[in-house]
């Protein structure tokens, strides 16, 4: 927990806010963090979380765009391909969040100077 004046924040709240994630995104992100180094298809994630495939695809897309998860393509023998997803390295994720928080802090500092 982080105390800031009159409010206490859970780290997960800061991550959710910093990245603009939904509850489904956070649920999926936490699953990936608990299952590091394992690659999943969207179908596997849908079955694991009992969420429809569209919801999973939307969350995976958002997490990938935000650089929270990484993706690799696996070509199928009969043609076509599937994407597999896993969480980025912990240090990369920490740096990602820290840069967002640092940017916010700098903007607050600039606003205080104008005040």
Percentage of residues in the chain having pLDDT higher than 70:
96
Specify the pTM. 0.83
The domains of the chain, with CATH numbers, are 21-114 (1.10.10.10)
pLDDT for residue 11: 85
Does residue 38 contact residue 86 with C-beta atoms inside 8 Å?
yes
What digits encode the pLDDT tens for the residues 57-76?
999 999 999 999 999 999 99
Q: At what angle do helices 53-65 and 42-49 cross, to 10 degrees?
A: 120
């Amino acid at each position: 927990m982080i105390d800031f004046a009159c409010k206490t924040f859970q780290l997960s709240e800061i991550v959710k806010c910093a990245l603009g994630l939904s509850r489904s995104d956070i649920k999926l992100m936490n699953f990936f963090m608990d299952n590091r180094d394992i690659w999943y298809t969207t179908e596997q994630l849908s079955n694991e979380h009992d969420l429809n495939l569209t919801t999973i695809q939307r969350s995976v897309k958002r997490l990938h765009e935000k650089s929270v998860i990484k993706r690799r393509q696996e070509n199928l023998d009969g043609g076509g391909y599937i994407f597999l997803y896993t969480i980025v390295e912990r240090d990369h994720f920490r740096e990602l969040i820290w840069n967002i928080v640092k940017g916010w802090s700098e903007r607050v500092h600039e606003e205080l100077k104008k005040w």
